[in-house]
């Protein structure tokens, strides 16, 4: 980076020329006269709003298509065109930019919710430079002020035309692009490596979980129906109106597959205290099971309740009470073998359901209690590794992205040359 700083100092010692967008180019709109039907089975590609929002350079491989008739007058995009989102729900996202950096060999159109911009002289700004420039802090400070609104913010082309941009020498632009692209490539490489590592950890965890109870040191391969191992007790009804900030700890069936993991010792929701007499409670050591779900996969998701107090359970859940290690049972209910058996008993209506009778027929491994405890200890360690990596992945990517943004904003903070 120091080399580029020296290069900027050498070639831009007196600052660089700044120009208003309205002076050096023209704005244009996207597709016109299109109905919803035109975007079904289209014959021409177009750049969608999300393509612009998510990418500093337009994704030229995106498959968004629109129907455009022969001879129809629609403006197509070219390499070097800069695109801004035309509206947003937040001021922070208004006028988000993306640049066409690839050569356009076939007609490529722009959606009607974005604003296109084309330089009169394409040589002024290298497209690869523009993709970084228009996302830099100084440009974003100007761009967010081009919109107005209350619940939705719309960009004004008149205000957009007043945005001023630096025009450094081509050599400086090219060198900055090399460094910033390198930062971006390193970020993508790190993300790919971490995702591969996470996937490997998840596969390893699933392998050991699905191999229950054939883990190192575990003896006994007996499998028995859950109905012979304990009893299933259905919860009792409470509604959204009964949910309060403070009251009786409770578990709703939907929370089991959206918020809870293998086990929980603290409830995330509570119901009114005056309902106590009519509720049904899971005790510490019980396993709480979702009896319904929107998908077959969600049904029979289980959480071992290991808290220090009883917890009220919803009438679309069962508690399973046995002498087994509750976390072992919860892990067993995540295994491929369990799901294969479960699928035979799920009622597949709009809402998928599994009865207590169906659950009672599903067989799970029953090693000695000491081996159950050892299995739980092993799987907990694997789960902790997966959870740690899941947290580390976004944190490390964010750190790498911050590094890129710091470098970008510093390199693109040019001084303006004296008039």
300, 332 Cβ separation under 8 angstroms: no
Percent of the chain past pLDDT 90, that is, above it, reads: 63
Long-range Cβ contacts of 379-384 (<8 Å, 24+ apart): 379/205, 379/208, 379/209, 379/262, 379/331, 380/327, 382/201, 382/204, 382/205, 382/208, 383/205, 383/261, 383/262
- For residue range 380-391, list pLDDT tens digits in order: 888 888 888 778
For residue 176, is the peptide bond before it cis, meaning its omega torsion is within 30 degrees of 0? no
Characterize the bridge pairing of strands 269-271 and 248-251. antiparallel
How far is it, in rounded angstroms, from Cα 194 to Cα 181? Answer: 20
How far is it, in rounded angstroms, from Cα 341 to Cα 323? Answer: 22
Position 219 confidence tier, pLDDT thresholds 50, 70, 90: very low
Look at residue 216 in the predicted model and tell me its pLDDT: 46
User: Quick check: do 17-167 and 223-366 share a fold?
Assistant: yes
200 burial level (CB within 10 Å; 0-12, 13-18, 19+): exposed
Position 218 confidence tier, pLDDT thresholds 50, 70, 90: very low
How far is it, in rounded angstroms, from Cα 367 to Cα 43? Answer: 61
pTM: 0.67
DSSP string across 75-86: PBP-TT-EEEE-
Characterise 33 by phi-psi region: left (phi > 0), alpha (psi -120 to 50), beta (else): left
135 by DSSP, 3-state: which? Answer: coil
**Domain segments of the chain as ranges:** 17-167, 223-366
Per-residue pLDDT at 209 exceeds 70:
yes
Q: What is the CATH T-level fold of the domain 17-167, as seen in this structure?
A: Adenine-n6-DNA-methyltransferase TaqI; Chain A, domain 2 (3.90.220)
What value, to the nearest 5°, has the Cα angle with vertex 299 and ends 297 and 304? 110
User: Considering Cα of 112, then 115, then 121, then 126, what sign does the dihedral take?
Assistant: negative
203, 385 Cβ separation under 8 angstroms: no
The encoded tokens of residue 180 equal 């910033």
Which among 309, 308, 290, 286 is positioned nearest to 299, based on CA atoms?
A: 290
21, 43 Cβ separation under 8 angstroms: no
Instruction: Tell me the mean pLDDT in the region 228-256.
Output: 94
- For residue range 32-81, list pLDDT tens digits in order: 999 999 998 899 999 999 999 999 999 988 889 999 998 899 999 999 99
Percent of the chain past pLDDT 70, that is, above it, reads: 95
Which spans in 2-148 are helix H? Answer: 2-11, 21-24, 49-54, 127-133, 137-143
- For residue range 25-36, list pLDDT tens digits in order: 999 999 999 999
Look at residue 281 in the predicted model and tell me its pLDDT: 97
How many Cβ atoms are within 10 Å of 38's Cβ, its own excluded? 17
Q: Does domain 223-366 have CATH number 3.90.220.20?
A: yes
Look at residue 3 in the predicted model and tell me its pLDDT: 67
Instruction: Tell me the mean pLDDT in the region 105-123.
Output: 95
């Amino acid at each position: 980076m120091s080399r580029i700083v020296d290069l900027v100092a050498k070639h831009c010692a007196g600052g660089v020329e700044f120009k208003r967008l309205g002076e050096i180019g023209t704005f244009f709109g996207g597709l016109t006269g299109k109905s919803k039907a035109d975007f079904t089975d289209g014959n021409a590609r177009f750049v969608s709003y999300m393509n612009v929002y998510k990418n500093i350079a337009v994704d030229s491989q995106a498959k968004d298509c629109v129907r455009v008739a022969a001879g129809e007058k629609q403006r197509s995009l070219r390499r070097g065109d800069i695109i801004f989102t035309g509206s947003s729900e937040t001021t922070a996202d208004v006028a988000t930019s993306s640049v066409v950096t690839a050569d356009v060999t076939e007609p490529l159109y722009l959606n009607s919710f974005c604003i296109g911009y084309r330089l009169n002289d394409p040589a002024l700004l290298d497209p690869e430079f523009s993709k970084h420039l228009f996302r830099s802090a100084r440009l974003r400070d100007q761009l967010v002020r081009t919109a107005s609104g209350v619940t939705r913010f719309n960009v004004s082309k008149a205000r957009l035309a007043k945005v001023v941009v630096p025009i450094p020498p081509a050599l400086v632009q090219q060198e900055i692009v090399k460094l910033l692209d390198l930062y971006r490539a390193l970020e993508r490489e790190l993300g790919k490596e971490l995702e591969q590592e996470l996937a490997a950890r998840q596969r390893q965890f699933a392998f050991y979980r699905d191999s229950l109870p054939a883990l190192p040191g575990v003896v006994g391969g007996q499998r028995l129906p859950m109905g012979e191992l304990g009893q299933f007790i259905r919860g009792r009804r409470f509604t959204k109106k009964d949910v309060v900030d403070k009251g009786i700890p409770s578990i709703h069936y939907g929370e089991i597959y959206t918020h809870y993991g293998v086990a929980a010792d603290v409830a995330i929701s509570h119901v009114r205290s005056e309902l106590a007499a009519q509720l049904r409670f899971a005790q510490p050591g019980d396993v709480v099971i979702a009896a319904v779900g929107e998908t077959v996969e969600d049904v029979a998701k289980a959480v071992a309740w290991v808290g220090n107090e009883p917890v009220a359970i919803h009438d679309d859940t069962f508690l399973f009470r046995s002498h087994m290690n509750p976390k072992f049972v919860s892990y067993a209910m995540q295994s491929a073998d369990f799901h294969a058996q479960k699928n035979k008993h799920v009622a597949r209506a709009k809402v998928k359901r599994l009865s207590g009778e169906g659950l009672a027929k599903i067989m799970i491994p029953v090693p000695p209690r000491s081996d159950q405890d050892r299995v739980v200890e092993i799987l907990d360690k694997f789960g902790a590794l997966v959870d740690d990596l899941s947290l580390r992945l976004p944190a490390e990517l964010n750190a790498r992205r911050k590094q890129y943004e710091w470098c970008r904003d510093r390199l693109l903070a040019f001084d303006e040359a004296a008039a």
